[in-house]
Amino acid sequence: MSSKVLTCFQVRWAEFLSEFHFTITYCPGRLATLPDALSRRDDVYPERGVDFISKNPQNFHQVIKQDGIQESRFFSIKVEVFSDLVDKIQKEVWQDKDYKEILKQLARGESVSDYSLEPQAKLLLFKDRVVIPSNEELQLNILQKRHDSPLAGHPGQEKTLKLIKRDFYWAGMNQFIKDYVSSCQQCSRNKNIHHKKFGLLKPLQIPSGPWNSLLMDFITQLPLSNNFDSILVVLDRFSKMAIFIPAYGTITALDLAQIFISHVFSKHGLPVSIVSDRGSLFVSSFWTQLCQNLKISRDISTSFHPETDGQTKRVNQILEQYLWMYNIHQQINHLFFTIYGRNPSFDSVHISQDSPAGKVSTKLQSVQQVVKEELESAIRRFKKYADRNRAIPPYFQPGDKVWLASKNIKTTRPTKKLSERWLGPFEVLKKICSHAYNLNLPQQWRSVHPVFHVSLLEPVRQSTIPN
């Protein structure tokens, strides 16, 4: 009682104890056997009633047996919670052709296996549960009370089924409840998904040779160095050789084209394809037109799917891994040799590596063939382990409805923690490929690119329940 702020429990005890004058002294538990036993005797209280039952729910059936109370009386009390439905259930069940004969037999006092008649409300019971007739409106009303209401809290399929089976029964209720819960929009919007991420790994096509396929990305907002604050990373997907080009944060599409020509085209020629994210420079009309004129295929990642060009984001680690994993038998595992067929010179002491042109050409082709085989082997291993945590994606057709993961979308809600986990539903406009779809987004989402990876989508489960 020395606390400044007392709990409700402490306040009640303080009020009760204030009626007595006593001195509190400590008594070890081994010496307090008699008071301990007295504190647990319920027969010293004049009334047991509600307090006895509420504190010890297990005594409920004991009270019923001792007092000789009919269980049907307690059942009728329980049914009063649904008093607005009782009259309708009673009327409908007596008109239901499936239960007419059973009700007549029970009314005549005959016994029907598992069925009984509640004497007061005249409700048909099946194993002490109220039988609901084949009326979808009634069934839906009960289902909404046990699933949609704040007291229920939108439980899952099994929990909802358990809550309803506790008091009600109707034919086909399992499938009816599962169908309703699986198509509940509130559940779909706000609950986490527990299945594996959609979309098996789909690796990029292996390049045919060095500098045929490139990865490009920007590292921005770096400390100033010689007035540069960004780095353009250009990575050869075949050899994993990377070029780091200093750049400005205010670079334009024209500047990007000039840098590409000066640092890449002039040394390695034109690539067949360039993989990049959806940065403003890479999707600009100038860069798009330039690539079209030069016959360069642009492979742009879908929205919020950085795995497409993840190599540029981990280029330093990949270079180190390459040296360890692709240690070929010829021990000529240097990136420079893979591309040029010779090793670079590091100082003025130079041992001639001249050899007949045919020998150099053969050796270079052999090295590049081994690199290609090792890349294929690495992709197979990577795909094998990655697909363990992925699921085969569903097939969406134009016109289908899907939910979109909200983790990458900014909303007007004050906190992300309690925001809806899935947005939509949105209509599928077009299938880009097996792993990407174009969605019909609302007008206020103009800044969001409408193409999304299948791992960010979830199918909308349509209910078969009318209305």
Q: Same domain for 115 and 236?
A: no
Q: Same domain for 385 and 399?
A: no
Q: Same domain for 314 and 289?
A: yes
Q: Same domain for 317 and 438?
A: no
Which tops the pLDDT comparison, 30 or 351? 30
Q: Same domain for 210 and 281?
A: yes
Q: Same domain for 339 and 420?
A: no
Provide the 8-state DSSP code for 161: H
Does pTM top 0.75 for this prediction?
Answer: no
Strands (E) located in 321-421: 390-391, 401-405
Mean pLDDT, residues 149-157: 88
Q: Same domain for 167 and 249?
A: no
Q: Output the domain CATH number for residue 141.
A: 1.10.340.70
Radius of gyration of the chain (CA): 37
Q: Output the domain CATH number for residue 373.
A: 3.30.420.10
Q: Same domain for 360 and 216?
A: yes
Question: 396-450 pLDDT, tens per residue?
Answer: 999 999 999 888 787 777 777 778 888 889 999 988 888 889 999 988 888 888 8
Residue 248 has pLDDT above 70, yes or no: yes
Owning domain of residue 277: 200-344+355-391
Give how many domains the chain has, as a whole number.
3
**Three-state SS at 214:** strand
> Which of 125-134, 189-198, 244-253, 340-349 is predicted with the least confidence, judged by mean pLDDT?
340-349
In a domain, 294, yes or no: yes
In a domain, 41, yes or no: no
Q: Same domain for 123 and 225?
A: no
Q: With CA atoms as reference, report the closest residue to 313 among 242, 209, 255, 250.
A: 242
Cα–Cα distance measured from residue 55 to residue 80, given in angstroms and rounded to the nearest whole number: 23
In a domain, 65, yes or no: no
Question: 56-68 pLDDT, tens per residue?
Answer: 555 545 544 444 4
Q: Same domain for 221 and 329?
A: yes
Q: Same domain for 207 and 129?
A: no
Question: 16-25 pLDDT, tens per residue?
Answer: 887 787 777 8
Q: Same domain for 298 and 386?
A: yes
In a domain, 281, yes or no: yes
**Boundary of a domain, candidates 134, 159, 190:** 190
Angstrom CA distances, 431 to 201, 343, 425, stand at: 18, 47, 17
